[in-house]
Structure 1
Amino acid sequence: MENRALAKTKDEETIVGHTEELIKNYELLKRYYPDIKNLDWSLLKLACIYHDMGKLNTKFQNKLMSKLNYSLLKDELEDINEIPHGYLSPAFLDLENIQDKYDLDGLKILCQSIFYHHNREKSDNPDNIKKTIKEDLSKYINEFSYERIGKVTKLNTKYWKYVKRRLPNQEIEDDEEEEKRRSITNRKFIMTKGLLNKIDYAASSGVPIEYGNDELEERTYEFFNNMKSEPNKLQKFMKENRDNSVIAIASTGIGKTEGALLWIGNNKGFFTLPLRVSLNAIYDRLKDKIKFNNDKLGLLHSESATEYMKRSEGYIDKDHLDETKQLSKALTVCTLDQLLDFVFKCEGFELKLATLSYSKLVIDEIQMYSSDMLAYLLAALKEITNMGGKFAIVTATFPPVLKSFMEYLGIDYKEAEEPFLKENKNGQIFERHRMKVLDEKINIEHIKHNYKNKRILVIVNTVKEAQRLYDELLEENISNVNIFHSKYIKRDRSKIEKKILEAGEVINGIPKNSSQTIWITTQIVEASLDIDFDVLYTELSDLSGLFQRMGRVYRNRELDDTTNVYVYTGGNSAPSGITKSKKSIIDYDIYSASREAIEKFGDGEIKEIDKMNLINKYFTYERLGNSNFYRDVKEKINYINNLKCFEVQKSEVKLRDILTVTIIPKLVFEENFESINENIRLYSLDDSSYSERIKSRDYILSYTVAIPQYEYEFACSKGLIFDTLKIGKFEEIKVVSFPYDEKGLQKPKNEDANDIECLFV
């Protein structure tokens, strides 16, 4: 019976054919990025050539041939379970010949990259592996031919000694030279194993491993020319320091995006932001304004497929999506959680870290991340820079307390000597805000006496507070009052987003729509929407959040003599959503420091440099070193640093410590019962195409809203789960009997009105 040496059932691809696809991608990677650090190209090539040779075994071949209805090979080892092919592949290595070229560490790197390339636990039964090699695989080597490995006359079983102590080795050596060698070996292993996986996945999915970046710098300068402008001080600093990791503090509206692009230059880049809506806007800007080649540009977050489909008239190019997910694009716009899970060192972590080692990572709006995400980000930056990668943090504020963490981790970077402040045409600093500080709870008194002929923006900390103010303003018979927060179903949220963008649009300092309007919102508008209102009334959360909120008024206008920011510090208590418990939307010590800063600063003009100085004075280690925030970040950094490789399972990893449940409000479900059920049916059809399934699922999800886990548990305890919708085999959506109207989702009254857990945030 013939051994067909198959690698995959699709197109009956052979081991040789599949391996040649790997070599093509290997050559592509080497052509685009020839100077990757910590990588021995010849070692990686050997790993590519030999990685799947173990598939020649009888059990693997029979598994594929049975699916293709071919006659099966005789299995003379029926009493032994199938051995994963990666464990068998190193048997084909000519170890005696290879030993002359590589030292002991090189042999370990090669054998383990192949042995573990499918991320399985090491077999604890070497006898069965040796028996399979000697009594099964050996039967087929005479008839197997592949010019890249030559004629195999004998298989080896001696590679076991190179795989029994798994890399990366985390046992710190006392001897300095040995420790240096251990560190170098670990880095080389991560690169070889990670890039073998990346090459293998690209070959298996039929997409190129990388797109070269040969145009980003040119396109960015063309954008400047079209705008009839020159790079400003920030943008020049970013270009001049593109060989360094950098931190640049710069005021809003100064052109941080273009500065980041000049820093990336013609290298592989990742541009990160915390909010999907901001990412979508940056992606469109890169595509439509910068004119970067769309084939080389990726958008990567939890709803990428939907966003791609919106921009392609309902069609999804699955290859484009796969290339984005496999990190093949020259420039990828993404959320951090798509990249940072490698810090948990789960099986397969090497691929992302290896990719980031020859990439440039931009982090924007760092002040918006939770303590969890900050800890994981800082730990990741340490790993990335150790491997040769670079990062740029571009932000309006960068608290000194974060620098203390970077010092603790030993992360090197270059920081500009001075912050970059936006200037007007005359070269003067662009000042935008005059503030009044009110030692009271936010209320409608100031608003109802000062709203006429103005476009008013109100930002509060919780949805519940927004809904309360909305009701009070309506009771005063004030016209054109609107509300926007995160507790709307997606369909309604998109409509409201469009409406607030229109209300807040300003062209050359002049409102496009000057009609009197009041918008009551939450921190959802802090950084995600490009809006410019006349007056801001806001609760205090923390300094960084406050300055972000200020950026929603007089965004592109210079200050006149009117007060345009009113800050409510909470009076005898604290603003909504802020308590000393862990459910607080902001660490209480950070809130307290922020309140002291604002109250001491007092009323009057607050310059851009004042904002940065307040952050530098109050958000220090000396001030926050005993805060829960500081302890949380430090604990999580230490947890990551002390993690052993592969002790955490992928299923256990959760970057964001935010548990939410996606639901459909009962009223919404009843009003759209037929169309929702029809799309559930279409999604489940066997003959539905990938694009059709995405469309159907998106239609269903457009009626959903995410609620916190504790709100869902409240609904369960009160018998408010109305129905459960099954979306395919693996997904369900609960229909919940919470009220829903123009104010969004509301929660039934709780017996404990002061319970922070009852507050929609």
Structure 2
Amino acid sequence: MKTTCPILAKSALEGNLSLLEHTRHVVLAMALFAKRSGLNIDPEIARKGAVLHDLGKAHPHFQRKIYHQKSTSLRDNLEWDFIHRHEISSLAFLPCFPASEWDILTDLVIAHHKSIINDPGEKGILDLTRFRDTLDNHLKDWEEWYIHGLEIIRHFGYSVKDIPREEAKAALEYVVSHCDKKKNGVSLLRGLLKSADHFASAFTHNTQQQLGSLFEIPDLTYYHSEKRKSSIYPLSLLPSDNTRKHTFVVAPTGAGKTDFLLRRCSRRVFYLLPFQASINAMWERIKENVPNKDVRLLHATSRIVVKDNNDEQILQPLVGAAVKVLTPHQLAAVLFGIKGHESILLDLQETDIILDEIHTYSDFSMAMVLDLVKTLVRLNCNVHIGTATMPTTLYKKLSEILGGTDNIYEVKLPAPVLDTFDRHIIDKIAHEDQINGILAEAFAKGEKVLLVFNTIRKAQSTFKQLLDDFPDIPKMLIHSRFKRADRVELERKLKKEFNGDASGNGSPGIRPCLVVSTQVVEVSLDISFDRMITECAPLDSLIQRFGRINRIRNEQTLGKYKPIHVISPGNNPLPYKQEILKASFDQLPEHFGLLKENSLQEKLDTVYPDIDTKEIDIHLIYRNDRYIIKELTDNKKSILIDALKIEGATCILESDRDTYINADWETRQQFEIPIRYQTIMRYKKQYEQLEVGSYPFVIPQQVEAYNMYGLQLTEHDNFL
């Protein structure tokens, strides 16, 4: 490596950014992050950590790699054939700083890319020191390149000194000893530097400009406006300035829960919802009404939803948003110790957390949410829970975690007000053979019908049959197994073209029409149809589904009822439990009986006398009031996937294979179809799996069939 070449921190693909420039950007970010982090850290030491963190990139091994310099001989190849971690080489510059600061500087720097031990690629410092020559390799040609590190330290106003190789090696030996002695816990210092480094790497020369909108308290004036008050939305008339720390609101869909929960917030806001369909809709609603620049969406499709604003795309996973809309799974790293958990912990501290429709989780996910609430309480967050339905046992458990009535502002609507939310009449039907007759009658009346199934396969097969049975009726199919970009467009089409009800209020949309769906329509998707036919599901899920019918609430719609037909549970209850489906079905009225809102709590408590959760303690990094993970380390992401049974794999169509291979990371996301890891593993020998991007499985489905039905696999029934 010729010394005349600039010392780079980023490759040509990342802008050929010099090490000095990148360090400047991280120092800028660190100044703000250290101030806002709530950590008791001397800002000057934090700044030194930022200066120090990447100096090891001046090592010739890193520079050879970044300049794509190839070995010219076998001897040359053998000479440079070792694993080099720049953060280890960076700490060879510790002798330029007081020895009393070394421990803090080490915690800031050493693990900002890799876990110190048990790294999946065995590249952490304690993984590498198993090899005899590790420290010598990280100081290879020290006398030739360490001057570049000294120049950067001097640039930021710190005095420097000559560091003989032996003194540099002694510093690295100190770092190894320090890391070896690490006890259980989490290092928020690591999270601090990671946050600053990621932010600076994302925005490079625009770092200072982008920092200006970070850590703002959101302007929620819109939700406090007198114009938002109306007897139609009874929660809008209730005061939100109660001094108790946490909030519990139980009220039907359309009562004004979202406004009320946001009015309870006075800090930065994390708004948590369970499903992707609801995430998009809520982000759009909040972004329209909150003037802060930094209102973010965070889930797998966020880069597509905000594709016209590059800054917004980059911001999504970073810290410091005024408002961030996401799912609890995006925060699960803090429970399981997944990579980045320290940064998330820092970001969450002393914020307002809204948990909307918390009841929708079950088994492992419900256990995760309960432990997440415990963590939020430890982080001094204000927790605001809103739901239309919640079993008393779950309510009591959450109340206990939040500290009881002395700490919780509890809001429930009185029975006379609940009566005004009665809007559904229920018809129990014995078999799905009755669906076509109901649809024919509804279409003759010009109605918009929502047909909901519990599994993707059932929704797909029924939609295929209905294409033949009702060829002239506009219809669409929506579920989770569409390409990420297509899924966003389907949600927009559903809301803009098919939405509206027969009352004439709101957008009338296409009429008559049919939408076939799975559970993706259940939570917070702002659509209103005239009639529903649905497979039986757990009662709390059914109540959420019902909320998509006769949703518009105004003087003209009050006291008017719309029909919902619930199919009796058959012999295949998947993905639910047979006993829960039977108990739920038994609680419903029949013969078009009115479903009373003020009867729902009693019905829920009958179906759910106990909380149905699974034990996840074995996966948690904090239990029995102490951390059981070693500082500066991470757990593998597979823990999260295994525990929560979430979508952990992706597929692409065979027709997109070549385009995907040659596309950049952002474009690749548009072709990806999320799928549960456990599902696709049954076919891992049947389908090709690429070794680029997210390592998707290649599915040889015809494009025409995909466009009509979404991804199709021969598989066991799966929901969502």
Larger deviation, residues 433-442 vs 224-233: 224-233
Give the RMSD, CA atoms, in angstroms: 5.0
- 2: CA distance between counterparts of 1:513 and 1:227? 26
Q: Which residue of 2 aligns with 1:180?
A: none
Q: Which residue of 1 aligns with 2:120?
A: none
The answer to whether the 8 A contact 2:357-2:387 is kept is yes
Structure 2 counterparts to residues 278-677 of structure 1, below 5 A: 278-287=278-287, 289-293=288-292, 295-309=293-307, 312=308, 317=310, 319-403=311-395, 406=398, 414-420=407-413, 430-436=420-426, 438=428, 440-444=430-434, 447=438, 451=442, 452-453=444-445, 455=447, 456-463=449-456, 465-466=458-459, 480=473, 482=475, 484-486=477-479, 494=489, 498=493, 502-506=497-501, 510=505, 512=508, 515=511, 519-527=515-523, 529-557=525-553, 558=557, 560=559, 564-568=563-567, 570=568, 574-575=569-570, 577-578=572-573, 584-598=574-588, 604-621=593-610, 624=611, 629-630=612-613, 632-634=614-616, 641=623, 644-645=629-630, 646=633, 648-650=635-637, 653-654=640-641, 655-658=644-647, 662=651, 664=653
The answer to whether the 8 A contact 1:344-1:653 is kept is yes
- 1: CA distance between counterparts of 2:235 and 2:660? 49
SS at match of 1:564: strand
How many percent identity over aligned positions? Answer: 20
Q: Which residue of 2 aligns with 1:262?
A: 263
The answer to whether the 8 A contact 2:270-2:323 is kept is yes
- 1: CA distance between counterparts of 2:501 and 2:515? 16
Q: Which residue of 2 aligns with 1:196?
A: 193
The answer to whether the 8 A contact 1:724-1:734 is kept is no
Deviations 1:471-516 (CA, angstroms, capped at 9, x unpaired): 8888988974846342885659956973676444049774736955
The answer to whether the 8 A contact 1:484-1:519 is kept is yes
Task: Mark the runs of 5 or more structure 1 residues left unpaired by the alignment.
Answer: 172-185, 579-583, 670-675, 751-755
Deviations 1:197-240 (CA, angstroms, capped at 9, x unpaired): 11112223315475335573355258x35657699774687953
- 2: CA distance between counterparts of 1:453 and 1:337? 42
SS at match of 2:193: helix
The answer to whether the 8 A contact 1:87-1:116 is kept is no
The answer to whether the 8 A contact 1:662-1:705 is kept is yes
- 2: CA distance between counterparts of 1:609 and 1:286? 30
What is the TM-score normalised by the length of structure 1? 0.72
- 2: CA distance between counterparts of 1:231 and 1:503? 25
SS at match of 1:240: coil
SS at match of 1:376: helix
Q: Which residue of 2 aligns with 1:182?
A: none
Q: Which residue of 2 aligns with 1:174?
A: none
- 2: CA distance between counterparts of 1:387 and 1:735? 48
- 2: CA distance between counterparts of 1:197 and 1:477? 56
- 2: CA distance between counterparts of 1:694 and 1:248? 39
The answer to whether the 8 A contact 2:453-2:534 is kept is yes
Q: 1:323 to 1:168 in 2, by over 3 A?
A: farther
Residue 20 (str. 1) matches residue 28 (str. 2) = no
> How far off its partner does 1:373 sit?
2.9
- 2: CA distance between counterparts of 1:387 and 1:137? 43
Pick one of 690, 709, 718 that aligns with 1:744.
709
Q: Which residue of 2 aligns with 1:152?
A: 161
Amino acid at match of 2:709: G
- 2: CA distance between counterparts of 1:84 and 1:554? 60
The answer to whether the 8 A contact 1:87-1:129 is kept is no
The answer to whether the 8 A contact 2:27-2:50 is kept is yes
Q: 1:530 to 1:440 in 2, by over 3 A?
A: same
Q: 1:4 to 1:410 in 2, by over 3 A?
A: farther
Amino acid at match of 2:161: V
Count of residues in correspondence between the two structures: 672
The answer to whether the 8 A contact 1:9-1:68 is kept is no
Q: 1:566 to 1:9 in 2, by over 3 A?
A: closer
Amino acid at match of 2:198: Y
- 1: CA distance between counterparts of 2:176 and 2:278? 46
- 2: CA distance between counterparts of 1:347 and 1:258? 34
Larger RCO, structures 1/2 (Cα 8 Å, 6+ apart): 2
Structure 2 counterparts to residues 157-168 of structure 1, below 5 A: 157=170, 160=173, 163-164=176-177, 166=179
Q: 1:428 to 1:652 in 2, by over 3 A?
A: closer
Task: Mark the runs of 5 or more structure 2 residues left unpaired by the alignment.
Answer: 115-122
Amino acid at match of 2:158: I
Amino acid at match of 2:86: H
> How far off its partner does 1:290 sit?
0.5
- 2: CA distance between counterparts of 1:738 and 1:7? 44
Structure 2 counterparts to residues 71-90 of structure 1, below 5 A: 81=82, 83-90=84-91
